[in-house]
Amino acid sequence: MQDISLVTMLFIGVNLDFFVILLLLLQKYSYKDNLIGYELGMIIVFSISAFAGQIIQSFIPEWSIGLLGLIPIYMGFKGEDDDENNNDQHKSNKGVMAVLLMYLVSCGADNIAVYVPVLATMTVTSILITVLYFIILTAISLTLAYSFGQIPIIKNLFERFGEPLSRIIYILIGIFVMFDTGLFQQIMNLF
C-alpha cells in the first residue's frame, strides 16, 4: 500500500465537504441508512477510479456528467414531506438511495479526478488494501458526524432549520456540479 499518510490525507481531502452534508443526512435518515449509502457511494466511486477512470474520461465528456446535478436540485425542490408513503422499508430504501445519490453527485466526479492519478500508481494488492482502509475511514467519519450532530446546540439547530437548510444545500450542490463540470459553459457555447 502507498504511504498510509498519503491515502489518509487523500480520503480526508476528498470527503471533508461531505462531512457537513452527513450532518444533515443523519438528521433525516437512520445511521444504518447513512452508513450503507455512504459506504456504497465510496466503493462505487473508488471502483470507477481504480478500474475505469481513464476509460470513462475518454468516452464521456466531463460536461455531460453535470447533468447529474439535476438529481440534488430535484431532491431540494421535492423535499421529504412530499412523499405520501410511510412504509418503513420504503423509507429505509429511500434513505440509503438518498445518501448514495447525494454522495455520488456531490463527491463523485471530484473524487474520481483525485483518486485516478494516485490509484494508477498502485498495484492491485495495494488498491485492495486501500479500499478496505477507506471502508473503515468511511465508517469512522460517519460516526464522527453522528457524534458531532448529537451535541445539543447543533442538534437543536438541525432540528429547527435542518429541512430548509438541506433543501438549499441540495439545490446549491446541483448547481455547483453543473457549473464545475462545465455544463453551463457547454450550454453557453451553443448560443
Tens digit of each residue's pLDDT (9 = 90 or more) over 37-70: 999 999 998 988 887 545 555 676 767 767 767 8
Based on the structure, what is the number of domains in the chain? 1
* Angstrom distance (rounded) from CA 84 to CA 81: 8
Residue 154's nearest CA partner among 23, 33, 32, 22 is 23
**Within a domain: 56:** yes
The rounded percent of the chain whose pLDDT value lies above 90 is: 21
pLDDT number for residue 58: 61
**Within a domain: 173:** no
**Within a domain: 164:** no
**Within a domain: 69:** no
**Within a domain: 71:** no
**Within a domain: 67:** no
- Band of the pLDDT at 83, cuts 50, 70, 90? very low
* Chain segment 134-150, per-residue pLDDT in tens: 999 999 999 999 998 88
**Within a domain: 57:** yes
Mean pLDDT of 128-133: 92
pLDDT number for residue 69: 73
- Tell which phi-psi region holds residue 83, choosing left (phi > 0), alpha (psi between -120 and 50) or beta: beta
pLDDT at 107 over 80: no
Q: Between the ranges 12-21, 61-70, 129-138, 151-160, where is the mean pLDDT highest?
A: 129-138
Residue 116 domain boundaries: 4-62+84-156
